[in-house]
Amino acid sequence: MTSMPLSRTEINLGIPSAHRMRRLRRSAGLRRMVRETQLSPSDFIYPVFVTSGRGIREPIPSMPGQARLSVDQLAQEAAELRSLDIPAILLFGLPESKDAIGTGAWIADGVVQQAVHALKQAEPELVVVTDVCLCEYTDHGHCGVLDDDGAIINDASVELLAQTSLSQAEAGADVIAPSDMMDGRVGVIRQTLDAAGFSDRALLSYAAKFASAFYGPFRDAADSAPQFGDRRGYQMDPPNGREAMRAIARDLDEGADMIMVKPALAYLDLVREARDRFDAPLAAYNVSGEYAMLKAAAANGWIDEERVVLETLTGIRRAGADTILTYHAKDAARWLARQAG
């Protein structure tokens, strides 16, 4: 005799009715209604590499989809960001020439200073964030000035970083973002800006920036690899989480308005800890190596790029980041707009 299928009322697996969590996963509408973490283009800052010259849009091989742009290309870039509702851009400069003290970082007509002027003329409401470091501008590729033995001189480097910050503020930058990891630079930059009448300019500190292997494509893009040694003497040691919290606390005490953890994916535990400890806007940098890995996997057909990128960025937000610096920003904004439509 063929048995009849059991009805739903006849099945009793002992699962309490109150614990059936799948009820709220049953449809796309229900899932969207109870979604805990929202990802939006307004969460993004889009990093851009600016170079000297005109008419330049030079692809970066290690970062597919990214390019080095000349200043005259930035108006088009700014308009695209506005159309995608991405509120902010982060500028990295590739100067025409380099020297031992990174003069190109603070001169009034430096490539970043020109870029700030161009962006503010094209899109006044776009938030312009300027990276403050010397590595792209020094002929040795380190983030400060060196003594005769090749070691970074902390306090002399801080003076030049403050000079760079002032030059960028004078050009019109909205947010100054020191990434060098010299001790005391946030306090000196804040004092320098305030004394010059720029107390309204915000500081986004790369407070917990680690000596990571995930920066490789960036150094190719920015031509900023050290000519000798490495940056472990000033960037943070990856195993040190408690030290990261001390560094964040110090930078907030010195006047940082926003704090950052960099990189993001291997340090999501520190993003969460920073969110729990500090009541300040928190950024996480989804860095070049993290970007390049997903691009390579997608190009080989190993992952669904859209789903994996959005899942990755959502994970960074879920960990506690208010803002994500990411090279995926434009693609992610398009995908989110399509999903919303």
In the annotation, is 262 catalytic? yes
In the annotation, is 209 catalytic? yes
The answer to whether the peptide bond before residue 239 is cis (omega within 30 degrees of 0) is no
Total residues found in the chain within this entry: 341
Separation of alpha carbons 246 and 252, rounded Å: 10
What DSSP string describes 275-340? HHH--S-EEEEE-HHHHHHHHHHHHTTSS-HHHHHHHHHHHHHHHT-SEEEETTHHHHHHHHHHHH
Q: Which residues contact 331 (CB under 8 A, 6 or more apart)?
A: 65, 305, 306, 309
Matching residue, tokens 């800006």? 193
Neighbours of 335 (CB within 10 A): 19
- In Å, how far are 20, 198, 243, 289 from 239, measured between CA atoms? 40, 37, 9, 19
* Active-site choice (98, 209, 295, 330): 209
The torsion angles phi and psi of 144, rounded to 5 degrees, stand at -160, -175
Alpha helices of 100-175 — where are they, by DSSP H? 111-122, 154-171
* Active-site choice (98, 262, 295, 330): 262
Q: What is the DSSP letter of 35?
A: -
* Element holding 105 (H helix, E strand): none
Which SS3 state, helix, strand or coil, does residue 176 take?
Answer: strand
Catalytic residues: 209, 262
